[in-house]
Amino acid sequence: MMDQAVSFDFFIRLVRKYWRAIIAWTVAGVLVAAVMTFFVITPQYKSSVQILVSRHSENSATQYTDQQADVQMITTYKELITNQVILNPARKALQKKYGYTRSLGILKNEISVSSTQNSQVFSVDVVDASATQGAQIANQIAESFKKQVKKIIKVNNVTIVSPASIATSPVTPKKGLNLLIGLVVGLLLGFVYASVRVITDRRVHNVEFLTDELGLANLGQVNHQHRHQHVRRQVENIQSNASSEMTTSQRSRKRI
C-alpha cells in the first residue's frame, strides 16, 4: 500500500508540475501521426477475385470424394497462382492490354491467396497503390490461372465466381488507428520526459524532503532575500546615516 501511495503521489507531482509538457508531447504525437497518415504514407487498395475449381462428376457415389479432393487441391492452386507459370502470362497480358510494366517480383509481392476451410472457393487478393490497376491485375491473374491450370492439372471446370471490382476506400493506412497510436505514443513520451525531469532534479524544494526522506534535523529556516531588496536596503541605510550625520553637524554649528 505504501508503494502504491508513493507511486500515486509521484504521478500527481508529474501531472501538476509538467502538465503543459505532457500535453505538448501528446499534441506533437498526434500531429506527427496525422502528417504521416495523410501526406507521407501512400494509400493501398485491395481488390479480390473469387475462383471455384471443381471436378464435374455425374457419379453420385464419387461426388463427395471429388469435392474433398478439390478442397485439398486448393493448397496446390495457391502455390500455382504465386508461381511464374501463372504470373508470367498475366504480366505479359497486363503489359499488352494496359501498358503495365511490373516485374515478377513486384507482382508476386502484391498477391495473396486466401480460402475458407472446407470450401472449394478461394480468393486472389491484390493490394496496389491504384484501385483500378489492382482490380485489373486480380482479374487478369484469374484469367491466366483459368487457362494455365487446364494444361498443368487437366482441370476443365474453373469458374470465376466473383470478378474483382474497383475498391472505393484504401485498406491502409488506417487513419483512426494511426492517430490513436500517435496520441498514445505522444502521451507516453510526455510522461517519460516529465519523469526524467523529476528524477534528475536534485534541488530541495521543501523541508519535508530533508526530514522525511533524508532523516535530517530541522535546525531552522533562513528567509530568502532578493538581491535587489538587499541592495535597496543598504542604500536606504547609507542615506539614513548620511542624513543623520548632516543633522548632527547642523546642530553643532547652531550651538557654536
Angle at 52 between CA 49 and CA 55, to 5 degrees: 160
Classify domain 45-162 at the CATH topology level. Alpha-Beta Plaits (3.30.70)
Residue ranges of the chain whose pLDDT lies below 50: 1-2
194-217 pLDDT, tens digit each? 988 878 877 666 666 556 555 666
At residue 101, the pLDDT reads: 86
pLDDT of residue 188: 95
How crowded is residue 219: how many other Cβ atoms within 10 Å of its Cβ?
A: 5
pLDDT of res. 227: 56
Helices (H), 82-226: 84-98, 104-110, 131-152, 175-199, 207-208
The one-character DSSP state at 43 is P
Listed by start position, the domains of the chain span 2-41+174-199, 45-162, 207-255
- Crossing angle of the two packed helices 175-199 and 2-35, in degrees rounded to 10: 130
Residue type, 85: V
Q: Which of 9, 4, 67 is nearest to 198 (CA)?
A: 9
| pLDDT at residue 118, as a whole number | 78
Edge-to-edge strand order for the sheet containing 45-53?
Answer: 111-115, 121-128, 45-53, 158-162
